[in-house]
Amino acid sequence: MGLFKVAVVQDWHPYDIVSFQEMLNSMPEFKFYVQNIDILAEDKENLPNYDAFLFYGLGLKIPEAGKATEKFSTEFLGSTKSGIVLLHHAILNYNHWEVWDEITGLKSRSMTYHQNQNVSFNIADPQHPITKGLSPFSLTDETYKMGSPDDSPLITTDHELSLSTVAWTRQYKNSKVFCYASGHDSNSYDNASFREIVRRGLLWSMGKI
């Protein structure tokens, strides 16, 4: 199998860089290019060459109209069949911006967060390519208490401080979108189930599984 090119979009939010990169390195199907969204948006030569965009940053300020980042989000994303994967705090990007509301499928992304929660996860759709064959599992992770999407749920939890649907899929224009609310730190990055879900999520978003 050839290598798929994935732009990993990181912005503002601190994270365990070493553990996160080790997780990426465990996926030999991909070549990952970690970069700031402002730099990515300006790199018009390479944008069409990515097979997927993995968002892990947290952009707080809605991009200014007419700027490269705004055009990337409103004009480029979804214009091709490149996959879109939103991981953990990337789901919270640009609260109150209808563009990201549409990408995530969440009508409201206002929330409270709760660190170091012991969370048990259920497989809601055991036939989907991302979750097929996976067993229920647990993580110590940061949770978000917020409304769940109306889209196809893949992974759920009964944890009282978490949204009930933790992973889901949807379509945004021409792109398949996989949203996964887990993934705060090395407790997630090092977990075999978490890694496999992210790996399959990328492949699914590209239309490869």
pLDDT tens, N- to C-terminus, the chain (209 residues)? 569 999 999 988 899 999 999 999 999 999 999 999 999 999 999 999 999 999 999 988 999 999 999 999 999 999 999 999 999 999 999 989 999 999 999 988 899 999 999 999 999 999 999 999 999 999 999 999 999 998 899 999 999 999 999 999 999 999 999 999 999 999 999 999 999 999 999 999 999 99
> How confident is the model over 78-137, as pLDDT tens digits?
999 999 999 999 999 998 999 999 999 998 889 999 999 999 999 999 999 999 999 999
Average pLDDT, the chain: 95
The rounded distance, in Å, linking the Cα atoms of 31 and 120 is 31
The rounded distance, in Å, linking the Cα atoms of 99 and 32 is 25
- Provide the pairing of β-strand 175-180 with 52-55: unpaired
Q: DSSP readout, 44-96?
A: TTTGGG-SEEEE-----SPPPTTSHHHHIIIIITTTSS-EEEEEGGGGGTTTT
Token pair in block for residue 69: 């980042």
Per CATH, the number for 4-205 is 3.40.50.880
8 Å CB contact between 181 and 166: yes
Q: Give the number of residues written for the chain.
A: 209
